[in-house]
Amino acid sequence: MPELPEVEVTRRGVAPYLEGKTVSAVVMRHTGLRWPFPADLEQELAGKRIIKTGRRGKYLLIHFAHGTLIVHLGMSGHLRILPPGIVPQKHDHFDLVAGGKVMRMTDPRRFGAVLWHPASEGPVEEHLLLRGLGLEPLEEVFSARELHRQTRTRSAPIKQVLLAGDIVVGVGNIYASESLFRAGINPKTPARKISLARYEKLVIAIREILAAAIEQGGSSLKDFIAVNGQSGYFQQSYFVYNRTGMACRVCTAPIRQIKQGQRSTFYCVNCQR
């Protein structure tokens, strides 16, 4: 599944082709993705100017004066910027045509979403899918002190707390494993037992890992590719994720894999205490 870096890479890729441009057409194939496409979406957007793009967690936001288009890539989705006239393929479900270019959404598993939040219903942050999201990890509001404060009653393992999304958003499975390794924290440690000093290391690690992943175009596992069709290469820098049995790049001990909440966790028993 595309995580925060992949969505941010996507946002940066589409932004120059969308921001300030006027929508000339909207094409919806089938009835929808994870949820039905909004009724009358073409009438809502045709002739309207895109003000800017944004991101909240793993949701891409396309802002208009009268509302916001919310796009989620699901498990296998990606966006491409194409010239007009390219024939859609089987899994091409949605086109937004603006500024003479086509933003096309491809989603083989159809777990993604294209939703509309009208401005008349308040800020987009109050949308049902966004209102419960935690802090943005790349913003200043995300701090060790805040993370420490919000975990004092959390007995769940820190890896599970990071994935839950209600304290910090967008730190998915790959980047949680890598951040915990960099911070030297065992993923099985109960969140409430981690000290402020160790959370300071974790916050720095999360920011560094996410920033590096964005810079390298994200992790191209399975279906994800960037807007220009190129693959990211952060997966070449993994220290623990998907390296079961391989030597730790720091201490040479074999990387271990366990299951936490139906998700695979990778860690080094020597480097992560």
Tell me the backbone φ, ψ of residue 235, rounded to 5 degrees.
Answer: -60, -20
Is residue 41 exposed (0-12), middle (13-18) or buried (19+ Cβ within 10 Å)?
middle
The Cα 44–Cα 40 span in angstroms is: 6
The one catalytic residue among 110, 188, 201, 263: 263
Do residues 35 and 115 touch, judged by C-beta distance below 8 A? yes
Paired tokens of 209: 């890992």
36 Cβ contact partners less than 8 Å away, ≥ 6 residues apart: none
Closest to 71 measured CA to CA, from 21, 120, 18 = 18
Please spell the DSSP secondary structure of 190-248, one letter per residue.
BGGGS-HHHHHHHHHHHHHHHHHHHHTT----TT---TTSPPP-GGGG-SSTT-TTSBP
Question: Which residues pair with residue 53 across a beta bridge?
Answer: 62
Closest to 184 measured CA to CA, from 248, 247, 141 = 248
The one catalytic residue among 11, 58, 80, 198: 58
The Cα 142–Cα 112 span in angstroms is: 27
Do residues 7 and 60 touch, judged by C-beta distance below 8 A? yes
- In the block, tokens 């939703």 appear at 115
Catalytic, 2? Answer yes
Do residues 65 and 51 touch, judged by C-beta distance below 8 A? yes
Provide the annotated active-site residues.
Answer: 2-3, 58, 263
